Structure 1
Amino acid sequence: MGLPPSGFIKQSIIFLKLYIILYISCIPDSTNHLFAAPTIPPHFGSSDISSYELQTLELDGYLSFDNNHKAATDFGNRYNLYPLAVLHPKSVSDISNTINHIFSMGYASDLTVAARGHGHSIQGQAQAYNGVVINMESFQGLEMKINAGELPYVDVSAGELWINILHETLKQGLAPKSWTDYLHLTVGGTLSNAGISGQAFRHGPQISNVYQLEVVTGKGEVFACSENQNADLFHAVLGGLGQFGIITRARISLEKAPKMVKWIRVLYSDFSKFTRDQEHLISSNDQFDYIEGFVFINRTGLLNNWRSSFNPQEPLQASKFNSDGKVFYCLEIAKYFNPDELDFINKKVESLLTGLNYIPSTLFTSEVTYLAFLDRVHVSENKLRAKGLWEIPHPWLNLLIPRTQIHDFAQEVFGNILKDTSNGPIIIYPVNKSKWNNKTSLATPEEEVFYLVAFLSSAVPSSIRTDGLEHILAQNQRILDYCIEYLPGVKQYLPHYSSQEEWRAHFGPKWQTVLQRKSKYDPLAILAPGQRIFQKGISFL
């Protein structure tokens, strides 16, 4: 009869090993829970079995099993969870087939899946230990469709960078409405969180400016979804931290793009005046187009360190300004315009500034192109990369703080917990909750106005001083502990927790919805293990 073909023998070995695992998992044990992951016999490596299984997949792209160190890194530079394999998809079916294959293996396999964009996660959220990481940037450069009609939009792959979208849409005089401060991020990455910047007070976050999505669920099913089609899945994945599906395409709302930006910075020494002016500015449509702010603590020679492209309105007064080591608050605002509107815009800006209560000698202005303004952080990135200061630990902490609690927060954190801001910028600005869709998975404070406060620290490797990682982490924890004890309305943005109890508190009233959506769209908890919300093999219902 002859010997069976080698492929048949290989498949038989795989199924035999899987059968043994399934059999052992059914043996009663007093420590097993209903959905407890089975114990793998020591002489059968689960990773070997998973590798064999994955190698049977027919793909347009490919799976790599070696030299996958990049998939175990991110911008936070603190977590290194090495995957079993990295999927480099060339089609949505590659993602669908891979996830469906893992789903069909059930609890006999501990494989999980994480989507990785540009690797800008902070806490290992896009990593999958001994699982499969999907390289979403493999989709970059795929067909981008721009519709310049009455309601303009752009259809893009989720692995596309926002900076590339900006370049392409500007060619037709259009641009997305809402941004993040840093544009070298993927569409899927920001839409899985929120996507916030100084335009959010007017347009809401990026997740409020999406018309339609294509999503692959934790079962490997592919759906088109929108407000009117598969609406629950649409809302689930927006701000869903990758828990309910992997976004593969998105239809993003566009608007007519300006050519120039009047970019302004002013300083305050009084926090009440600073927040009063910020809240006044976001309450009117006839104001600035971009509103953010910074905190400077014990920063001497403050004005001399500002960008050289900014010019003081009164150079003599500005040269005499001395920060004296005080806490100062910088209001950063911008007005968009086209070159033929310059005279009108100058008068308009002058009128708008008249009602503000900043320190007069600290009015700094600049005029830049719209592209240069939106891509401003990339300039700093290039400088830091040249100095070897980009790929270092970034123990960032981002908080959403109710308006009624922001003054107590500032008094304790800026006045007591923090001693200086040399480790990185502190961003602070308010947004209007009415611009945020409450149906999404994103957890926000309940009040109509709340503040984003972002501590964007960089840790100096091997330092044991205040710029070292351990000191910054301890400082972050003091801030969190204060919020937990005294400011219960505070939420983390880009959240990170170590227990499901903390996640339950984070989502609050939305927790039951989160559980229902997880059970419906990713019942085996295959997706986004790096978020540490659910664990495969453990019942979450």
Structure 2
Amino acid sequence: MKYLCVKVFMVLFLTSLAIKLNFCFPSIPLSLRTVVLDGHLSFTDNEFAAKDFGDQYRYSPLAVLHPKSVSDISTIIKHVWQMGPYTELKIAARGRGHSLHGQSQANRGIVISMESLWRQKMQFHIGKTCYVDVSGGALWINILHESLKYGLTPKSWTDYLHLSVGGTLSNAGISGQAFRHGPQINNVHQLEVVTGKGEVVNCSESQNTDLFYGVLGGLGQFGVITRARISLQPAPHKVKWIRVLYSDFSTFSKDQEYLISVEKTFDYIEGLVIKNKTNLMNDWRSNFTPQDSVRASQFISEGKLLFCLELAKNFNPEETESTNKEIQRLLSQLSYISSTLFTTEVSYVEFLDRVHTSEIKLQSKGLWEVPHPWLNLFIPKSKINKFAQEAFGNLLKDTNNGPILVYPVNKSKWNNRTSLVLPDEDIIYLVAFLSHAVPLSNGSDSLEHILKRNKQILEFCESAQLGVKQYLPHYHKQEEWMHHFGPKWEVFAKRKSAYDPLALLAPGQRIFQNNLSYL
């Protein structure tokens, strides 16, 4: 009788406690608050996880996981997985929150703050094959600094280095080195992944191959990248950084395609669209030196549609003379406007971290923490002139609220076994409209205006049947995603069924919104 009374008392006590906790946190399952972790779950002060770089969507999570170990991530995902197919909890991994359309958010779900893991020690392997093992939450800028201590560097980059490894590998990771080395997802030897079932799996080209290629460019759909083995090569000390201008797109693109086709060429090749910039040459003079200062001062850019070819050549001090000769040889093959040759010499780190310098300037003007309605496209070489004529010549009014990149890459350098989707041609162009919107504006720099222009560009691509694919894609309906993936959709859906059958992961991508819709 005494035992029964104690048991009844404990039941009543726990029930009362559950009621009180549910009153404080009405939507949070009691079981979630009692999970044992090395790190912790936070249920308040999580506003940061409801915001990203795009600043167009804000979805608040129920909780944020601050893991101290990979085991914490596995425990949480496994816990939600065990709730069964009708749980409403979803899980998103968040690195630096640099996503554009809420992809790193989880509406009333759980956000994993991957930054909590970035301090895990990097492990370098120096030998015939050099690489570094890093946390999925590590930032590329920190990998650069640590690698340089060994005289090494990753091969492929993004233009902005203050991004997480897991974030860029879930997409592709592209910059001006991609024509030679491919994107960052082509320069990974091995991954550690926590699947949608909470399983911790090591995968590579020879081990759990399907998961390895699925996760690379997989938009976070098959697992959370918790560790990556990144390929390294010897690092240079200095960079010759060059800019030249063109007034004709066909000449500009022809020169770009020539440079990515020859064996001895620049180490970085990108391009910029410039329209209605009034102080372009003065802006450059603060950092670059014109070869002919008199003729450069006479160049008038106002009102013109121009194309900037941006080049870089890596070198060490003892190679200065031979590097200069090589640059002169390559430039002599190009047809740029001769008075617009601007050059500078910077350290390797200064060049790679160049966008961060711009970030600091934009922050000082209040133009960094604003909406970024970016549009990134892969365009087949055969269609790039038609695209440029309409998009740059007619739909684009100016480039005063963010750069527009355009440059080709060799598709042969990209592994088609990854989840990334590309147009079906040997040479493809990346075109990136990297706009920022000015709050409260009603003009051409308003969010509404930029979104309307982006829609017009996409509608033109569709009506003109250009065969364009979005990079960092964003769609609302599964039918649109199926069209995006095309022949790859069946494999993509099968991988989802195998590795995240309850569709718990990366809900912000809006690919598998209904758990059962793809089975």
- The interval holding the TM-score normalised by the smaller chain is over 0.9
Which residue type is aligned with residue 178 of structure 1? Answer: S
Question: Is 2:12 aligned against 1:3?
Answer: no
Aligned equivalents of 2:17, 2:464: Cα separation in 1: 55
Q: Deviations over 1:31-69 (max 9, x none)?
A: xxxxxxxxxxxxx99x84643121121100000000100
Deviation at 1:103, TM superposition (A): 0.5
Aligned equivalent of 1:92, options 54, 70, 87: 70
Offset, 1:6 = 8.0
Mapping 1:95-494, distance limit 5 Å? 95-306=73-284, 308-494=286-472
Distance 1:241 1:497 in 2: 13
Please list every run of 5 or more consecutive structure 2 residues that lacks an aligned counterpart in the other structure.
Answer: none
2:151 maps to amino acid: G
Letter in 2 for 1:107: P
Structure 1 unaligned runs (5+)?
Answer: 17-43
**What is the rounded CA distance, in whole Å, between the counterparts of 2:424 and 2:31 in structure 1?**
47
CA root-mean-square deviation: 1.8
366-375 or 481-490, which moves further after superposition? Answer: 481-490
Residue 411 of structure 1 and its aligned partner are, at CA, apart by 0.3
1:143 Cα offset (Å): 1.2
Counterpart residue identity of residue 4, structure 1: K
Tell me the CA shift for residue 407 of structure 1. Answer: 0.4
Looking at structure 1, the residues matched to 110 and 169 of structure 2 have their Cα atoms a distance apart, in angstroms, of 21
Secondary structure of the residue aligned to 1:57 is coil
**Per-residue deviation, 1:485:** 1.2
1:428 match: secondary structure: strand
Secondary structure of residue in 2 paired with 1:415: helix
Q: 1:367-418, CA deviations, whole angstroms, 9 ceiling, x for partnerless residues?
A: 0000000000000111111222210011000000000010000000111111
* Structure 1 residue 301 displacement after superposition: 3.5
- Measured in 2, the distance between the counterparts of 1:457 and 1:146 equals 38
Change (3 A) 1:342 1:412: same
| Corresponding residue number in structure 2 for 1:37 | none
Between the aligned partners of 1:509 and 1:10, the Cα distance in structure 2 is 57
Q: CA deviation at 1:536?
A: 4.2
| Amino acid across the alignment from 1:253 | S
Question: 2:401·2:435 contact (CA, 8 Å) conserved in 1?
Answer: yes
Which residue does 1:64 correspond to in 2?
42
Encode CA deviations 1:214-266: one digit per residue, 9 max, x unaligned: 00000001100000000000000000000010000000000000000000000
8 Å CA contact 1:526–1:536 kept in 2: the answer is no
The answer on 1:496 being equivalent to 2:474 is yes
- Normalization by structure 2: what TM-score? 0.96
Alpha-carbon distance, 1:5 to partner = 8.5
Opposite residue 531 of structure 1, the aligned amino acid is Q
Q: Secondary structure at the match of 1:437?
A: coil
Task: Give the C-alpha shift of residue 305 in structure 1.
Answer: 2.3
Mark the CA change 1:9 to 1:489 in structure 2 (over 3 Å): closer, same or farther: farther
8 Å CA contact 2:501–2:515 kept in 1: the answer is no
Tell me the TM-score normalised to structure 1 length.
0.92
Instruction: Tell me: CA distance 1:520–1:466, structure 2 relative to 1, closer, same or farther (3 Å).
Output: same
Cα distance in 2 for residues equivalent to 1:154 and 1:11 = 49
In structure 2, the CA distance between the partners of 1:261 and 1:464, relative to structure 1 (3 Å rule), is same
2:514 & 2:138 partners in 1: Cα distance? 29
Identical positions, percent: 63
Deviation at 1:148, TM superposition (A): 1.5
Cα deviation, residue 86, structure 1 = 0.2
Which of 31, 37, 54 pairs up with 1:53?
31
How far does the alpha carbon of each residue in 1:260-292 deviate from its partner, in whole angstroms, 9 at most, with x for none? 000000000011110000000001221000000
More displaced 10-residue stretch of structure 1: 257-266 or 106-115: 106-115
Q: Is the contact made by 2:383 and 2:466 (CA closer than 8 Å) also made in structure 1? A: no
Once residues 64 and 105 of structure 2 are traced to their aligned partners in structure 1, the CA distance between those partners, rounded to angstroms, is 10
Kept after mapping to 2: 8 A contact 1:405/1:487: no
Partner of 1:32: none
Count of aligned residue pairs for this structure pair: 514
